[in-house]
Amino acid sequence: MKRYVQVYTGAGKGKTTAALGLTMRAVGAGMKVYMGQFIKSHDYSEIKTLSERFPEVTVEQYGRGCFIKGDPTEEDVEAGLAGLAKLEDAVRDGEYDMVIADEANVAVSVGLFGVDKLMKLIDIKPGEMELVFTGRGAHEDLVARADLVTEMSCVKHYYEQGVSARKGIEC
C-alpha cells in the first residue's frame, strides 16, 4: 500500500496529539511506529504510555528540554543534528511503517537545521512508509512537498487566562 507525507502545523493546540492519534490507529492495524521528538526532553504522559504499553512504538527525544528563544546554542544544534541522524536512520532502515518527526517544523524555524534536511527524509522515504511532520511554522517547501497538510488554528485557549499545562491533558 502506498503511504504518504503528512504535515500538522499552525498556532493551535493538537499537532502532536494528532500524531499520537495516528500512532494509536497504526498500532491497532499492526504497524510499527517511530516517533522522534525535536527540542523536547521531558517525561510527558504520552511518552510513558507509549514506552510502557506499546512495544510496537519507539519514541526518542532529541532535545534539551527548553524553549529556544533567539539563536539556538551550540548544544541545541548538536542535539538537533544528532536527532536528525537517528530519524534518518529510522526512515532509511525501513523497519517502521510510520515515522513521525515531532516538532521538526519548529527545529527548522529556530535554525537547528535547514528545511533541506526534511526534504531529504522525504526523498529517502520508502513508498510503504507514512512520514509525518509536526510543529508550528511549517516551511513552505515542506508544505508544497507534503500530500496532506493540516493547519491547526487557535480560536480560544485557556492558556491565555493563565492556565498552565495540566498533567494528563497537555503534558
122-158 pLDDT tens trace: 999 999 999 999 999 999 999 999 999 999 998 887 8
Q: How much is the pLDDT for 68?
A: 65
Q: What is the largest CA-CA distance in the chain?
A: 46
Q: How much is the pLDDT for 63?
A: 84
Q: Where are the alpha helices (DSSP H) in the chain?
A: 15-28, 45-53, 74-93, 104-109, 115-124, 140-145
- Return the percentage of the chain with pLDDT > 70, whole number: 98
Query: Using the 8-state DSSP alphabet, how is residue 29 labeled?
Result: T
Q: How much is the pLDDT for 127?
A: 96
Q: Which CATH superfamily is domain 5-161 in?
A: P-loop containing nucleotide triphosphate hydrolases (3.40.50.300)
Distance of alpha carbon 15 from the chain centroid: 8
Residue-range domain boundaries for the chain: 5-161
Q: How much is the pLDDT for 105?
A: 97
Q: How much is the pLDDT for 17?
A: 94
State the pTM of this model. Answer: 0.93
Low pLDDT (below 50) residues in the chain? none
